């Protein structure tokens, strides 16, 4: 076990589609702590739908912003484990990221001057690597070493063609903006691809159409609507969200991921 002394606390977050019934997450944590017992391990979520890379990418984008500088984000949604797909580590100048090169880190690759390296250094891997569990045997050890101060360049050669998924954005046509539902949260809120910036460019919001429902204007918070009433608002992640006060919008409006949302603006102020 590593002495703690004056060393700062290094944080590793974990995100996966492993669920919490098995001990796969526990095994990854064991591998992390066997390299540095003083790591602070924080679960983002392990309930990404199985093999849903887009869902994992969304979770990483929404859940990581508030962590302090130097945090390492370990993410494993990995349908291609054991195949030719690469493992990568990324340093974006603020946080580090470790996992499969399958698009999971698209938002990091897209938005920042990211340094990407392939995980090939055998000294940073388990002695025996299971072909079905790189999370435990390759990604967790790499994440632990990065968290304790290793530079991302030490994991292996530079990668300049990491896989970056096309971003789901919104299309503007005059006063109309067409987006789609990216995520349905635990409360049934419908979180869309329409951003604060998109909405601001429209001027004031006249109406929002989603499924068979038309909503007039934009609310500020859930309590602005009457119980049971649908509303649109800018959610905590900076996206337009359609909610039902005290209810479950996805069920009550019969709308899910991928559904179209159309916002009509009053024109720029």
Dist. CA 12–CA 72, nearest whole Å: 5
Q: Which residue in the set 52, 94, 187, 257 belongs to the binding site for a second copy (CB under 8 A)? A: 187
Give 37 or 204: the residue with its C-beta nearer to a second copy: 37
Q: Which residue in the set 12, 81, 194, 218 belongs to the binding site for a second copy (CB under 8 A)? A: 81
- Our CA angle for 152, 37, 45, nearest 5°, is 70
Give 70 or 176: the residue with its C-beta nearer to a second copy: 70
Count other Cβ atoms within 10 Å, centred on residue 110. 13
- Number of amino acids touching a second copy (CB under 8 A): 74
Dist. CA 216–CA 207, nearest whole Å: 4
**For residue 65, what are the β-bridge partners?**
none
Q: Which parts of 66-212 are beta strand (E)?
A: 72-76, 87-91, 96-100, 115-118, 171-173, 176-184, 190-195, 205-210
Dist. CA 179–CA 45, nearest whole Å: 26
Tell me if 27 contacts a second copy by CB under 8 A. Answer: yes
CB of 173 to a second copy, least distance (A): 28
CB of 152 to a second copy, least distance (A): 18
Q: Which of residues 34-63 bind a second copy (CB under 8 A)?
A: 34, 37-38, 40-47, 50-51, 59, 62-63
Give 131 or 174: the residue with its C-beta nearer to a second copy: 131
Q: Which of residues 188-247 bind a second copy (CB under 8 A)?
A: 220-224, 233, 235-236, 241, 246
CB of 265 to a second copy, least distance (A): 21
Give 30 or 203: the residue with its C-beta nearer to a second copy: 30
Number of Cα atoms under 13 Å in the Cβ half of residue 65: 9
Stretch that binds a second copy, among 75-83, 167-175, 199-207, 254-262 (CB under 8 A): 75-83
Q: Which residue in the set 2, 158, 201, 204 belongs to the binding site for a second copy (CB under 8 A)? A: 2
Binding mask 84-103 for a second copy (x = CB under 8 A): --------------------
Stretch that binds a second copy, among 162-170, 179-187, 199-207, 253-261 (CB under 8 A): 179-187
Q: Which of residues 104-133 bind a second copy (CB under 8 A)?
A: 130-133
- Our CA angle for 120, 124, 129, nearest 5°, is 75
Q: Which of residues 131-150 bind a second copy (CB under 8 A)?
A: 131-133, 136-137
Cβ pair 232, 240 in contact under 8 A: yes
**For residue 12, what are the β-bridge partners?**
41, 72
Which residues are within 8 A (CB) of 37 and not within 5 positions of it... i.e. 6 or more apart?
1, 2
Q: Which residue in the set 67, 115, 148, 150 belongs to the binding site for a second copy (CB under 8 A)? A: 67
Dist. CA 68–CA 40, nearest whole Å: 12
Give 57 or 121: the residue with its C-beta nearer to a second copy: 57
Question: Phi/psi of residue 236, each to 5°?
Answer: -70, -15
């Amino acid at each position: 076990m590593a002495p703690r002394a004056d060393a700062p606390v290094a944080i590793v977050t974990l995100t996966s589609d492993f669920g919490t019934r098995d001990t796969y997450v526990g095994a990854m944590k064991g591998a992390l702590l066997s390299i540095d017992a003083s790591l602070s391990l924080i679960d983002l979520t392990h309930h990404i739908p199985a093999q849903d890379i887009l869902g994992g990418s969304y979770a990483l984008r929404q859940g990581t912003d508030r962590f302090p500088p130097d945090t390492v984000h370990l993410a494993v949604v990995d349908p291609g484990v054991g195949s030719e797909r690469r493992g990568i580590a990324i340093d974006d100048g603020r946080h580090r990221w470790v996992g499969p090169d399958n698009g999971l880190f698209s938002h990091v690759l897209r938005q920042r001057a990211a340094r990407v390296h392939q995980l090939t250094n055998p000294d940073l891997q388990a002695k025996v690597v299971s072909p079905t569990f790189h999370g435990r045997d390759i990604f967790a050890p790499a994440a632990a070493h990065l968290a304790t101060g290793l530079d991302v360049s030490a994991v292996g050669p530079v990668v300049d063609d990491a896989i970056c998924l096309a971003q789901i954005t919104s299309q503007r046509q005059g006063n109309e903006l067409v987006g789609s539902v990216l995520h349905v949260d635990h409360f049934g809120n419908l979180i869309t691809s329409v951003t604060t910036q998109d909405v601001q460019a429209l001027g004031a919001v006249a109406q929002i159409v989603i499924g068979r429902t038309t909503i007039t204007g934009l609310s500020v918070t859930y309590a602005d609507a009457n119980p049971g009433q649908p509303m649109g608002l800018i959610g905590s992640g900076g996206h337009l969200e359609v909610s039902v006060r005290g209810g479950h919008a996805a069920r009550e409006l019969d709308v899910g991921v991928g559904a179209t949302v159309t916002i009509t603006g009053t024109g720029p102020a």
